[in-house]
Amino acid sequence: MSTLTRQQSWALIGLTIFWGLNWPMMKLSLQQITPLYFRAITMTLGALSLLAYVRWAEGSVWPARRDWLTLALLMLPNILAWHTLSIFGVQELASGRAAVLGFTMPVFTVVLGSLFFGQAMTRRTLLAAALALGSVALLLWHEASHLSGRPAGVLWMLLAALSWAVGTLWMRRANTQASPLRITVWMLLLCCPILWVAAMGTEPVPALARFTPVMWASLAWGVWVNFGLSQVLWFGLARSLPPATSTMSILAVPVLGTLFATVVVGEVPVWQDWIALGLVAVAIATVLLPSRGARGAQ
C-alpha cells in the first residue's frame, strides 16, 4: 500500500472538508435561488473554469470523435441525474440528512455490481445493504411521522445515490481515450444546456439584484470550490490514494456535512440522524475496506 506525501495528505484533508461543507453551502444557496438555476449557473461557470485548467495541464481539451457518444451516455447518470436529483433532495431535507442518504452510493454500487455485472454477492455486501436500508427506513420514518416532514426528499436522494452508483459502474467499464478529468469536464459541459433549458422552462429567473453578499459567496463556492478546486484535487489524488484512505475520506464526508450544517444553516441533527449516519458509515466501511485476507495478500 502506498503512503501519501505531506502534500497529498493536506490535499486529502482539504478535499474531505470541501465535500462535507458543500452540502450546507448548497442549502444556503437555495434560500435565494431555485435549484435548477443554481445548478445551471454553478455547473456552467465551474465547467468552463475546469476546461481552462485542462487546457493548461494537458495541452488538449477535445476528446476523440469516437468518445462523444460514450461521454453523452456517461453524463446522464453521473452528472444530470445525480446533480439534479440531489439538489431537489437538499431543497426538501436538512442538508446533513441529504448527505447521509447521498453517500449510500458506495453500497448501491456494490449491490448493483453483484446483481447485474457479475460481481460476487458476499456476506459483507448483504450486511452493507441491510445497514443502508436500515438508515433509509429510519430517516424515512422520521420524515413521514412529522407534520413538517418531507419524505419525498428521501426519495430524491435515494434516486440520486442510485444514479451515481449506476454511473460509477458504467464509468469503470467505459472505453475512452480521454483522461478522467477531461471526461468529467465534457460530461459537465454536455449537461449544462439541458439544465439551462429545464431551468428556464420551469423556474422564475433569479433576481440577481436582490442577492445578498452571503448568497454571492455561496455561489462562488459552488463554482470555484465544488466544481473547480475539489475536482482538481480529487483527480490529482485518485491514482495514488490507497483504498483504505479513500474509504476514510468518503466516510468523513456525511459526518462533516452533518456537523457543518449546524454552523452554516443552523440545522440541529436529531437522534435518528446520528443513528442513520452510523449505519451508513459502517455500511460504507463494510463494502470498501479490504478484508483481512485481501490485506494480507497485499
Question: pLDDT tens across 52-110, in order?
Answer: 999 998 888 888 889 999 999 999 999 999 999 999 999 999 888 899 899 888 888 88
**pLDDT of 48 over the 90 cut:** yes
**What value does the mean pLDDT of the chain take?**
86
Alpha-carbon distances of 89 from 12, 17, 95, 102, 155, rounded to whole Å: 26, 21, 8, 9, 8
Average pLDDT over residues 22-36: 95
Alpha-carbon distances of 4 from 180, 213, 239, 242, 251, rounded to whole Å: 21, 38, 11, 8, 18
**pLDDT of 213 over the 70 cut:** yes
CA–CA separation, 181 and 287 (whole Å): 25
Confidence of residue 298 (pLDDT cuts 50, 70, 90): very low
Confidence of residue 1 (pLDDT cuts 50, 70, 90): very low
Q: Are 71 and 190 in contact (CB under 8 A)?
A: yes
pLDDT of residue 147: 53
Which range among 9-13, 53-57, 96-100, 188-192 shows the weakest confidence by mean pLDDT? Answer: 9-13
Average pLDDT over residues 37-52: 96
pLDDT of residue 57: 86
Alpha-carbon distances of 59 from 51, 52, 259, rounded to whole Å: 11, 10, 40
Percentage of the residues of the chain whose pLDDT score is greater than 70: 90
Alpha-carbon distances of 85 from 27, 141, 258, rounded to whole Å: 14, 21, 19
Average pLDDT over residues 162-171: 90
Dihedrals φ, ψ of 188, to 5°? -65, -45
**pLDDT of 292 over the 70 cut:** no
C-alpha cell of residue 238: 485518485
Confidence of residue 21 (pLDDT cuts 50, 70, 90): very high
Q: Are 52 and 227 in contact (CB under 8 A)?
A: no
The DSSP element (H or E) to which 268 belongs, if any, is none
CA–CA separation, 235 and 126 (whole Å): 30
CA–CA separation, 190 and 183 (whole Å): 11
pLDDT of residue 243: 58
**pLDDT of 135 over the 90 cut:** no
Provide the Cα torsion 187, 155, 89, 258; round to 10°. -110
Confidence of residue 252 (pLDDT cuts 50, 70, 90): confident
**pLDDT of 297 over the 50 cut:** no
Q: Which residue type occupies 79?
A: I
Which range among 165-174, 187-196, 283-292 shows the weakest confidence by mean pLDDT? Answer: 283-292
- CA-closest candidate to residue 178, choices 74, 271, 79: 74
Provide the Cα torsion 16, 17, 20, 21; round to 10°. -150
pLDDT of residue 247: 64
Query: 10 Å Cβ neighbour count for 191?
Result: 25
